[in-house]
Amino acid sequence: SQQGEEDPQALSIQEGENATMNCSYKTSINNLQWYRQNSGRGLVHLILIRSNEREKHSGRLRVTLDTSKKSSSLLITASRAADTASYFCATDANTGNQFYFGTGTSLTVIP
């Protein structure tokens, strides 16, 4: 399968709590990116982490990357109801041009 795996598939938390999503992938990569998608809409790019980076921050987002384990995590701190969406990791493999998405995590933040 071309896809990486994400867990959990679905996550429901209270507003103000932190949300953590994990992504595992299969091939060596140039970088890994996280995207957000509201229901039935296009993708919003959140953050990119390169293969030689281990952690990156952007506002309330924190991404880690462990290339030895082929895994990444996305942490959203102090969640808000507006963070409710599906979140996907995507990998830019260093062989070929292809860009593959993980299976996604559906996040629901309860006000």
Partner 1 sequence: GAVVSQHPSRVICKSGTSVKIECRSLDFQATTMFWYRQFPKQSLMLMATSNEGSKATYEQGVEKDKFLINHASLTLSTLTVTSAHPEDSSFYICSARDGTRGYTFGSGTRLTVV
> Binding of partner 1 at residue 59 (CB under 8 A)?
no
Least Cα distance to 64 among 22, 100, 101 occurs for 22
Closest CA to 49 of 76, 69, 30, 75: 30
In 1-111, alpha helices (H): none
- For residue 8, the surrounding DSSP H or E stretch is none
Q: Does 103 bind partner 1 (CB under 8 A)?
A: yes
Among 70, 77, 92, 108, binds partner 1 (CB under 8 A): 92
Selected binder of partner 1 within 46, 104, 107, 109 (CB under 8 A): 104
Q: Which residues bind partner 1 (CB under 8 A)?
A: 2-3, 31, 33, 40-43, 45, 48, 88, 92, 97-104, 106
